[in-house]
Amino acid sequence: MTPFAARPHHVPAGAAQWIGSLVRRFPDLIEELAPSHGSRPTSPVRGSRSSSPGAPPVRLFVSDTVRDITDGVVELEEAVRERLGLRPVRPAAVPERLRRIAGLLDRIAADADLAAHVEDETRRMAGRCARALGDPEQIVRIAGRCPVCDSVSLRAFPERAEVRCVNPVCRHVLEPEETVS
């Protein structure tokens, strides 16, 4: 069983979900950086890549995403370990660091601020990874009616941690304490 599979209800389930997504999808992001097997090797001569016909285009947003997620995971692991009073650990690849964070979720859950921070950061990084891979944002239909316009147009946007009415006339964003009728 992976460290972020079925966990007790008091553990930040959202963080476990986002960490699992990052562990699965980060290798896909790395693969996006590798040139395809059918492309010609890049020229060692300096200059614009547009001068070498047939070369795959540079996808800077993918490179920036890899860097952002790598830096974010390193900083998150360091912050978690520091906040929990744990010694620093050896450097490791992003998936390994994510697994180490997932292994600490029980302890993270005891600190509400830390748990919220871990969930927010892992959600942000998983969303950025998904967008770089071309995935649209997941939208989930919510049963019930909008408390403002009474339509059945409520949708959850998990990457944004938001529930909103998608009725074009309303567009109300529900606050966490609002209930759905």
Which candidate, 90, 97, 89, 103, places its Cα nearest to that of 71?
97
Distance CA 78, CA 88 (A): 7
Cα separation values, 128 from 22, 77, 82, 102, 104, Å? 10, 18, 25, 19, 23
- pLDDT tens track for 5-53: 333 334 456 788 889 989 999 999 998 887 555 444 443 444 444 445 5
pLDDT(80) > 60: yes
Would you call 120 helix, strand, or coil by DSSP?
helix
Per mean pLDDT, which range of 27-41, 87-101, 141-155 is the poorest?
27-41
Q: Which amino acid is located at 85 in the chain?
A: G
The whole-number pLDDT of residue 135 equals 81
Q: What is the pTM of this model?
A: 0.66
Beta bridge partners of 154: 165
Binning pLDDT at 50, 70 and 90, where does residue 97 land? Answer: very high
80, two tokens: 């978690």
What percent of the chain lies above the pLDDT cut of 90? 47
Q: Higher model confidence: residue 104 or residue 11?
A: 104
pLDDT(4) > 90: no
Laid out side by side, the sheet with 154-157 consists of: 140-141, 154-157, 162-165, 173-174
Per mean pLDDT, which range of 79-88, 101-110, 153-162, 164-173 is the poorest?
153-162
Please give the average per-residue pLDDT across 81-86, as a whole number. 97
**Domain definitions of the chain by residue range:** 13-36+58-132, 137-181
pLDDT(65) > 70: yes
- CATH architecture for segment(s) 137-181: Single Sheet (2.20)
Please give the average per-residue pLDDT across 66-88, as a whole number. 97
160, two tokens: 């944004």
The whole-number pLDDT of residue 5 equals 38
The whole-number pLDDT of residue 169 equals 92
Instruction: Cite the beta strand spans of the chain per DSSP E.
Output: 140-141, 154-157, 162-165, 173-174
15, two tokens: 């963080």
